[in-house]
Amino acid sequence: MSNYASGTSVRVSKSKAEIEQTLIRFGADQFISGWAADRNLAMIQFRYEGRMVKFTLANADINEDRFQYALPDTKQRKRNADAAWKAWERNDWVWVVEFKKATG
């Protein structure tokens, strides 16, 4: 599996704000984002021209080496729980911004 967005340092809040601003610019009048830890999912949903659109993403496993180690190929520099969470969260929201740019 590739390490998509592994080198990014964009804050999740910035990614979510960019998605929301783009949807507003194109005419969406409702926006929801969320996650379900027990089902390992993230989602965005919005209403555009009276139609509800929902994207659901199966999150990567936070226990994967790419989130647990700063240098996953060598398993060196183990991250603390907070750093692992931030790496995992960043990975799963950057795809949404890239998808938006590719289809916008």
More confident residue, 82 or 15: 82
Q: Is residue 34 part of a domain?
A: yes
Residue 92's nearest CA partner among 30, 23, 25, 8 is 8
Question: How many residues in total does the chain contain?
Answer: 104
Does the pLDDT value for residue 2 go beyond 50?
Answer: no
For 85, 91, 93, 101, the CA distances from 58, given in Å and listed in that order, are 16, 12, 11, 20
Q: Total domain count for the chain?
A: 1
Q: Is residue 79 part of a domain?
A: yes
Q: What is the pLDDT of residues 26-48, one digit of tens each?
A: 999 999 988 887 787 888 899 99
Does the pLDDT value for residue 11 go beyond 70?
Answer: no
Position 101 confidence tier, pLDDT thresholds 50, 70, 90 = low
Q: What does the block give as tokens for 13?
A: 């809040």
Q: What is the pLDDT of residues 45-92, one digit of tens each?
A: 999 999 999 988 887 788 889 889 988 888 888 999 999 888 887 776
Domain that holds residue 28: 12-103
Q: Is residue 40 part of a domain?
A: yes
Q: Is residue 6 part of a domain?
A: no
- pTM of this structure: 0.57
Q: Is residue 72 part of a domain?
A: yes
Q: Is residue 1 part of a domain?
A: no
Q: Is residue 3 part of a domain?
A: no
